[in-house]
Amino acid sequence: MLADLAGLSQGYISEIESGKKPLDRKSTQVAIASALNISVAQLVGCTDDRADPVLDRASAYVPAIRAAIIELGAGERRRPRRDRDTVRKAVRQMTHLGNAADYAEIAGLVADLLLDAGAFGDEFASEMVEVAESANGTLKALGYVDLAKAAAEIGLRAAERHDSPAWRAEAFYSWIQSFPPESAALGARIAARTADELQNATDRGAREVYGQLHLSSALQAAVASRADDAMAHLTEAGDLARNLGEPEPYGPLSAGFNGNWFGPTNVRYWQVAVAAELGDAGAAIATAQRTDLSAVPVPNRHVYFFTDLARAQAAGGKDREAMHTLTHAERAAPQHFRRSPVVRDLVATLISRAKRRAVAGELTNLAHQLGIGSL
């Protein structure tokens, strides 16, 4: 019945239930969750109750972050506790921490920084977009998806008062990242529509955001099972990245507009993600093999890259390679790795398959010793 409702084969459902295949493709998650009348977040929610002291420390700041978001949403503005230069420096540091996937450190800074940036009003519109984006990514990684979306909407409202098309588009880019998989088709449309508004932009920052929006639209389209649209958006982003070249770093972990690192290497990272999501393991692995990770030395990008590559390797039956790749993902960004439902499900599947192979091998040897032969 579940297979019929989800539009999947009974054999495929059985393989997911038995642990032979991971539930890692978001399009499949959406199909099964819809059939069960639950959300994807409920379907893939964390079932491991073991505490992680680092992430527990990050979660302890969530009530203060929620209070700050509610206060800003109500239109309240306090007197700033810090001067303008100090706040701007703190905002830039938060972007670096986001690229490092250091959620515990970010969580302790978000509430005060949201309120200080908000205190300066329209003058700090771009800073508010930047802080809201960092808050969005951190809260989503910690599992507070609804609060992450509320943070992204703070950035949207700030961007409405900004005279820069690039920052307005960046706020939409961040907002789309907060969407659940069920809204992938909507996210793809909004990203493409926002990109169209920057099509004639000439400055590099706006062009980079234009490219990032096409990358986002590509992945959202892949989740919505629209492969042709996904590839068209990837092509547009790739052509632009080749023309622009790699972005200029302005910090150890940040380069380009708002630290997004838009360029040829980052496009390849997204190509691996899209191919893995579409189930094209060969394309994902081939793209990964010709990607120079040193060109974008960003832990937050590397953990996604290695996770997507491991997904593709596992789908292609390369379980040993997948486990090795996952160790790289864990080293790149341990806080992100430990909270990822995709990682958890993939590791559980690899363990289940390894156990079956070990048992099958032992039984085959025993049968041979008994002269039974192959059964």
pLDDT tens digit string along 295-326? 999 999 999 999 999 999 999 999 999 999 99
- Give the mean pLDDT of 202-221: 97
Among residues 78, 63, 49, which one has the least CA distance to residue 139? 63
Among residues 173, 149, 148, 332, which one has the least CA distance to residue 258? 173
Both 345 and 360 in one domain: the answer is yes
Burial label for 114, CB within 10 Å (0-12, 13-18, 19+), is buried
* Amino acid present at 217: S
| Domain closes at, from 245, 275, 291 | 291
Contact 15, 25 (CB under 8 A): no
Both 339 and 272 in one domain: the answer is no
Does the residue 170 lie in any domain? no
Q: How many domains does the chain have?
A: 2
pLDDT of residue 29: 86
Does the residue 269 lie in any domain? yes
Enter the tokens of residue 187: 């996210």
Both ends of the chain: CA-CA distance in Å? 32
| Domain closes at, from 263, 291, 319 | 291
Q: How much is the mean pLDDT over the chain? A: 91
Both 287 and 196 in one domain: the answer is yes
What range does the domain containing 285 cover? 179-291
Distance CA 127, CA 278 (A): 36
Does the residue 108 lie in any domain? no
* 131 CB-near residues (< 8 Å, 6+ apart): 91, 94, 110, 113, 114, 117, 155
| Domain closes at, from 250, 270, 291 | 291
Q: 12-16, 86-90, 91-95, 252-256: which has the minimum mean pLDDT?
A: 12-16
Please give the residue that has the higher pLDDT: either 2 or 291: 291
pLDDT in tens, 115-141: 999 999 999 999 999 999 999 999 999
Does the residue 174 lie in any domain? no
Does the residue 166 lie in any domain? no
pLDDT of residue 373: 58
